[in-house]
Structure formats: structure tokens, C-alpha cells
Copies of this chain bind each other. A is one copy, B any other.
Amino acid sequence: MSSSITYRGRYSEPVPTSNLVNDEEDFPEFEAFEDEEATPRAPYSASSLEVLQVEMSQKINKPNHFTSSYDLQNLVIRRGQEFMIRVSFNRIPEPSDDFQIEFLIGANPTLIKGSLVKVVFGPRAGGEGRWQGQVLEAQGGGALMIGITPAADAIVGKYRMYVAVSHGWGMQRTRRDATTDLYMLFNAWCPEDTVFLSDEAERQEYVLADYGTIYQGSVGSVGHRDWVYGQFERGVLDACIFLLDASRMPIYNRGDCIKLVRKGSAMVNSQDDSGVCVGNWSDDFSMGRSPTSWTGSVRILLQYANTGTPVSFAQCWVFAGVFNTFLRALGIPSRVVTNFNSAHDNTGNLKTDLIFKQDGSPDERNTRDSIWNYHCWNEVFMTRLDLPPGLGGWQVVDATPQETSDGHYRCGPAPVAAIKEGLLCHPYDVAFCFAEVNSDVVFHKRDKYGSLTPYRVEKTYVGRNICTKSVGSSRPYDITHTYKYPEGSVKDEQTMTRAEEYGCVRDHSDVPEIPLVVTITADQVYLGENVVLQVVFQNQGDGPRVIQAQLAGAIVYYTGVRAHRLRDRSFSVTVPANQSVTEVVTVAAEEYIPFLGSQLALYFMVTGQSDGQSVTAMKLVNLKTPKLTLMVSGAPQVNQEMFVTVSFTNSFNFPLRNVQLSMEGPGLMSSRSRHYSSIEPGSVITWKDSFFPRLVGPRALVAVMDCSNLRQIWGVIHVIITA
């Protein structure tokens, strides 16, 4: 269907959806007034005011707008804040001279929709405009320093600019000049902007930090990795605008942060809309790069913009990392958040149902819900003018394609405050996010007829350690309290009641009180070590108990789905009244290593049966891995050659094959990769490379080593670059 059919008869003009335009369709250089069309005259006389040159005053504007870091020839500014341009005329302008500066975005720009803006000077000044203009200084020789303040809700993207002088019978306009194009961003420094953030340290972190830490692993064994957001790197801002253009999002809506982030959450994944990243939760990444092998977002966004096709492959932290780059590049305060034991229920209720066979082993076939070991999403900071007071601030947005969020692969913005209060009745996707952090885990036993009986409800397993990188440091900042009141508190009960009033189905099964408790604990384990589990049975009853126990272990994907089943263990324990007995179970390294694949998580579930009663405990063990070693040398100065050395020793008893080692440092060096066909046990690799720092201040170099049997060995080094 041609686009002409799509709009003909519906709109007078097609709705513009791209920053890329045929700029020959802009206004003509000389535009006669309508009432003068019949009598054309010479465009100007010797005394007419004429524009000789327009300068964008980058040296003044960039630091004022905190946009110095963008590796772009063109000016980047933030809306709602004055920027300066220097216009040189052929003579000194007089108060009677009538001229205007015109800003255009997208095709067929129009005043009424804000895609065409005119800032008027001279006799007509002070009229309709929502952008303000003033002459700051007459600089002699006919040059004026002019200040322009765009509206705080201006459309975000790439504008074309013209200066037009009125000659009474028409407008004489400057020629099209791509060097005066300017990029308009959201402005966290502007109180009138919906993304205003009052704290300067937070703005530095959430808008300007171009690398950060993403948390992974499991509760009790929280790991982390560094991620290069790289929003200032060459081509990245253009790639983010390309993404919006590829989504065909109307230009008119691109000043609205809610619509823009919602569209972004859809476009960062490739489902529905050929967006940026292709999700892949299998072990087979042969058609692309493994999700664990990326050092950051830059290569992904540039590849997408260069090819126009989705990039393979991503898992949740990649979606969140790329989305974070997109958000910060456009000036929206954002951060990557990790939720541990994240429930993923495809009916969106508050129950995560786990089903067990009669012998106590997990019934994988009938268990449909999953609990992700962790899940990463983003938060953006904004006011929510569309909602009642109290729901502004941090909002959950999630670009990972989870299938049931309102039928489309996107999610949010959902106010974190609405999640905390159980206010599921407001857009967008609050109920879905609420379930991710609040689901009850319901344990069912399946009898021989296939009927299910719930025997335990675990209310505190899901939604733990919700955390993000601290402002100004790489330590985790626990923000669980922003999502939930303390478990069991009055406020928590109120939230749950409210959520149920809004249709959230919760489990109220009558489960028996059993005077028997089982727990599993394990120390932190490095890959290659034996896993030692302490299974503790506690008998709170007044009689002794004989317990038949079944320990099921598995290597699991981080989505909680089983990749490989380990050997089951059955044992019997007798626990005297009011006592505990600890059974130590050792899983030898040799048992898991051959089947580990790329997974680093082992999952254990013990079910004990005694007198027809069942108890169950779960434990996730995340294997720790060694790090890459990075060293830098050379004078840490802008544009001075420096060197980085990355090294790794294979301390395992197995070889690493087809190893990819990648490295990048935003503002220091762009992404580079090396390939090693094999790293034998005990052998060492070392890679030294040089770079020329582009940006001053604290900087980081991130390296990641990845191969099919050992994923995501990473390292980072920090360096402070001076001018």
C-alpha cells in the first residue's frame, strides 16, 4: 500500500514521521507575500538588510547546555534554555528592521503543531511565539548576538534553521546550510521541562554518565558488569533519532516524554516493529553475537542505524543498556534497575505457580510461570501530568520483549509510586510491573489424577534487592523500598488490598501450617569448585519426624528455565522434636562443568515429605568467575597517546575455544575486538593497544571476553583524563 493511499482523503498532508527530509521543500529563499504576488519586484535594494553569516556560538552554548561531550559538528542544545547565535548583517540593523529566525523539523513543518517555529525581531516582535528571542548584544559591524529560548515542551530532534528578512513585499531567507542544523534535547536542568531533575549530582549521573554498572546474578550473590552507554560517541545521537524515524513516530509527538519513552520501549526490541535488538534466550547465538559479548550500546546502535535491520542478539541487560543510551542521548534522566527473583507470569496475576510431582520433584511440563534469577529494566524520571498528583518521579520502562504486556512488546512508563501503592488503575502496565516484584510463589502438589493441591505460599521470594548503580559511585543502591512497603506492614497490606480491588488475582489458598521447615544455604562458589549445600530441616513439632527428601538440581538459564538437569538425590532424615538436622550435599564440579554451556547459575530445590505433608526450599547458586586484568600507561591527557593492556589467564582445566575479546572506553577509544581460536588451560593472553582520549574527567575502559563455554569474563579500569 503506497503512502499516498494511506493518507489521501484522510489528511490534507501526510503526517511527518522523520527527521530526514527533502529540504528543497522548505520555504523558498525569496518568498513574496501573498498580496504582492501579482506585482513582483526586485528582492532587495542596496539599503535592504541582508544576512551575511550565521554562527552557532558552540563554545558558549555547549558548556551552558552540558552538551560538550557529544562528538558532533552541529550544535546540541537542551530545550527551555537560552542559546545564542551570532547573525552578521550587511549593515547595522535598525529597530525598524523586520526579521525572523525560523526553526523547522520534519517534512511540511507547520506552526500550529510546533514543527515550524518563528522567532520574530523588529516591529512585529513579541507576538505569538512560545519560543522567546532577544538581542543580547550588538557587536559592531552589523553583527548581533541573539538569544533564543525554545519552549520547554519543544519537539526533540534535529532542526533546520533559516534567518528571513522582511522587505515589505516578501521575505528574503538565508540559503539552506546544514552546518546550522541543531539538535534539540530534553532538559533535566529546566524546571519547566517534564524531565526536570533538581539535584545536580543526579543529573550528572542519570543524564551525563556515559558508562555504568549493571547488576546481575542472584540474591545473596549479586554480581555486576560495567556497560558502556556511550551516548556521546560519534553517530549515537543520530542513531537514536533514526530509531524514532524508523518507528514512524509522528514528529508532532516527539516533545512528549511519555509517548517518546513508550515508543522507545517498543523500538529497542525487534518484535512487532523491526526495532534495534533481537532477543535470544537460547544457547545458540550462531546467527549473531552472544548477548554476553557486548561491551556496551554503541556498536549495537550504530549497526542498527547503518543497516536498518535488527541486531542479534540481546537479553534483558542488553535491552536495558541500549535503552539507557537512547534515553540519556535524548536528555531523559534514566537508569538501569535490576530486580532479583523477578516473576514472569503470562496471565499477569499475582501468582507464580510451581508444580511438583508426587515424589516431590519439580513438574516442568505443567509449570508455566517462571521466576527470572534477575531481570533488568529502566527507570526514567519525569512528571506525569496525565495522572493524579504523586505519581511523577521514577517510572518503570522495559524494552525487553515480555509477551503479555497489553499484547505488545513494550512496557511503561509505570510510576514506581503507583507500584508501591498498588494503584494499578493508571497507565501504563502498572499491573504487570506490580506482579514482577510482588508475586506470591505458590507450590502445588499434583496427584496421580493430575489434580493440584497448593501446599505452600511463599510471599517474600519474589522482588528482592531491587537495585541500581549509586550516584557517583559503582556501588549498588538498594531501591526496593521505592517499590514496596516492608513485607507484612500495614501499608503493605493496604497496597495488596488495593491491588486486589483493581482486579489483581492473588492466592488465598488455605495451606496447612506445618511444624516443619526446610532451608538451603550455600557459600559463594567459583566456577570449577564443588558446590556445598547445607540442607537444614527444622522440626518445630513435639514429636520426631522422618523425612523423605528429594533434592533436584539443574543448570538454569537466567530466566529460570532449565538448561540441564543434574543428578537427583534422595535421602532420608530423622529430626527429633524441636530440633534441626543439617544434611550436607556436595555437588562435585565435574558434575556440572561438562553441561554448563554458557550458563553460570545452578538451581536447587529440595522437597521433604513427612506424614503426608510437604515442605520445599529453593536455592539459586551463581558461579563466580575470574576477571580480566586491565592496565593503562601514558600521560592521561586529551589527544595524547595512551596504552591499555588487557590480560587473562585460563586457570580452568578446560580450554576456551573461539574466544572473542572486546574493549571500548567512551571518550577514550571506540570498540575493538580480537579473536582467539583457543586459550589452553594455564595459558595467558595479553593484548596491548593504543588510544587518544577525546574527553576529560573520570573515564573507564571496559573489556569483555566471551566464548561458547564461558561467557562474560569482564574487567574495567578507570582513568582520569586532564585537559
Chain A interface (Cβ within 8 Å of chain B)? 1, 4-6, 8-13, 15, 33-36, 100, 110-113, 118, 120, 124, 127-128, 166, 171, 247, 249-250, 252-253, 259, 262-263, 266, 272, 278-284, 346-348, 353, 355, 357-358, 364-370, 385-388, 403-404, 406-408, 424-428, 431, 444, 448-453, 502-503, 557, 559, 561-563
Residue of B34, B266, B557 near A357 (CB, 8 A) is B34
Pairwise interchain contact B281-A559, C-beta atoms closer than 8 A: no
Pairwise interchain contact B407-A263, C-beta atoms closer than 8 A: yes
Q: A263-B407, A426-B427 are in contact. List 6 more A-B contacts (CB 8 A).
A: A10-B559, A11-B370, A113-B368, A124-B451, A253-B404, A425-B426
Pairwise interchain contact A561-B12, C-beta atoms closer than 8 A: yes
Residue of B272, B281, B502 near A10 (CB, 8 A) is B281
A426 and B424 contact, Cβ closer than 8 Å, known pairs A280-B5, A370-B12, A449-B124: no
Pairwise interchain contact A386-B12, C-beta atoms closer than 8 A: no
Residue of B113, B171, B448 near A34 (CB, 8 A) is B448
Pairwise interchain contact B262-A110, C-beta atoms closer than 8 A: no
Pairwise interchain contact B128-A453, C-beta atoms closer than 8 A: yes
Chain B positions within 8 Å of A358 at CB level: 34-35
Pairwise interchain contact A110-B426, C-beta atoms closer than 8 A: no
Pairwise interchain contact A451-B386, C-beta atoms closer than 8 A: no
Pairwise interchain contact A406-B355, C-beta atoms closer than 8 A: no
7 contacts between A and B (CB under 8 A): A12-B370, A34-B358, A111-B366, A112-B367, A120-B451, A266-B407, A408-B408
Q: How far is the CA of A450 from the CA of B100 in the complex (A)?
A: 11
Chain B positions within 8 Å of A368 at CB level: 11-13, 110, 112-113
Chain B positions within 8 Å of A33 at CB level: 448-449
Pairwise interchain contact B113-A404, C-beta atoms closer than 8 A: no
Q: How far is the CA of A280 from the CA of B369 in the complex (A)?
A: 42
Residue among A100, A279, A407 having the largest count of chain B Cβ atoms under 10 Å: A407
Chain B positions within 8 Å of A348 at CB level: 253
- Stoichiometry (number of copies): 2
A278 and B9 contact, Cβ closer than 8 Å, known pairs A347-B113, A387-B425, A387-B502: no
Pairwise interchain contact A9-B449, C-beta atoms closer than 8 A: no
Chain B positions within 8 Å of A282 at CB level: 4-5, 8-9
Chain B positions within 8 Å of A100 at CB level: 449
Q: How far is the CA of A388 from the CA of B501 in the complex (A)?
A: 8
Q: A366 to nearest B CB, angstroms? A: 6
Chain B positions within 8 Å of A449 at CB level: 33, 100, 118, 120, 124, 166, 171
Chain B positions within 8 Å of A562 at CB level: 12
Q: How far is the CA of A368 from the CA of B15 in the complex (A)?
A: 9
Chain B positions within 8 Å of A407 at CB level: 247, 249, 259, 262-263, 266
Chain B positions within 8 Å of A35 at CB level: 358, 448
Q: A27 to nearest B CB, angstroms? A: 9
A9 and B557 contact, Cβ closer than 8 Å, known pairs A112-B368, A366-B110, A406-B262: yes
Q: A575 to nearest B CB, angstroms? A: 26
A385 and B166 contact, Cβ closer than 8 Å, known pairs A15-B346, A368-B11: no
Q: A397 to nearest B CB, angstroms? A: 14
Chain B positions within 8 Å of A110 at CB level: 366, 368
For the complex, would chain A's binding face be called helix, strand, loop or mixed by DSSP majority? Answer: loop
Chain B positions within 8 Å of A283 at CB level: 9
A561 and B11 contact, Cβ closer than 8 Å, known pairs A34-B357, A502-B385: yes
Chain B positions within 8 Å of A347 at CB level: 113, 250, 252-253
The 9 closest A-B CB pairs, nearest first, are: A9-B281, A385-B503, A33-B448, A8-B282, A10-B281, A9-B557, A386-B503, A112-B353, A427-B427
Q: How far is the CA of A367 from the CA of B33 in the complex (A)?
A: 19
Q: A108 to nearest B CB, angstroms? A: 8
Pairwise interchain contact B9-A250, C-beta atoms closer than 8 A: no
Pairwise interchain contact B559-A9, C-beta atoms closer than 8 A: yes
Chain B positions within 8 Å of A118 at CB level: 449-451
Q: How far is the CA of A118 from the CA of B404 in the complex (A)?
A: 26
Pairwise interchain contact A250-B346, C-beta atoms closer than 8 A: yes
Q: A315 to nearest B CB, angstroms? A: 9
Chain B positions within 8 Å of A444 at CB level: 112
A5 and B113 contact, Cβ closer than 8 Å, known pairs A453-B128, A561-B11: no
Q: How far is the CA of A13 from the CA of B364 in the complex (A)?
A: 9
Q: How far is the CA of A386 from the CA of B166 in the complex (A)?
A: 58
Chain B positions within 8 Å of A346 at CB level: 11, 15, 113, 250, 252
Chain B positions within 8 Å of A452 at CB level: 111-112, 128
Q: How far is the CA of A171 from the CA of B449 in the complex (A)?
A: 8
Q: How far is the CA of A110 from the CA of B450 in the complex (A)?
A: 10
Chain B positions within 8 Å of A284 at CB level: 5
Residue of B166, B250, B425 near A403 (CB, 8 A) is B250
Q: How far is the CA of A128 from the CA of B4 in the complex (A)?
A: 58
Q: How far is the CA of A536 from the CA of B690 in the complex (A)?
A: 82
Pairwise interchain contact B281-A12, C-beta atoms closer than 8 A: no
Q: Select from chain B the residue with minimum beta-carbon distance to A7.
A: B281
Chain B positions within 8 Å of A6 at CB level: 279
A561 and B10 contact, Cβ closer than 8 Å, known pairs A355-B112, A408-B408, A425-B426: yes
Chain B positions within 8 Å of A1 at CB level: 278
Q: A14 to nearest B CB, angstroms? A: 10
Pairwise interchain contact A12-B250, C-beta atoms closer than 8 A: no
Q: How far is the CA of A180 from the CA of B96 in the complex (A)?
A: 88
Q: Select from chain B the residue with minimum beta-carbon distance to A272.
A: B272
Q: A359 to nearest B CB, angstroms? A: 8
Chain B positions within 8 Å of A370 at CB level: 10-12
Q: How far is the CA of A585 from the CA of B259 in the complex (A)?
A: 47
Q: Select from chain B the residue with minimum beta-carbon distance to A389.
A: B501
Q: A455 to nearest B CB, angstroms? A: 13
Pairwise interchain contact B425-A428, C-beta atoms closer than 8 A: no
Chain B positions within 8 Å of A278 at CB level: 1
Q: Select from chain B the residue with minimum beta-carbon distance to A13.
A: B368
Chain B positions within 8 Å of A9 at CB level: 280-283, 557, 559, 561, 563
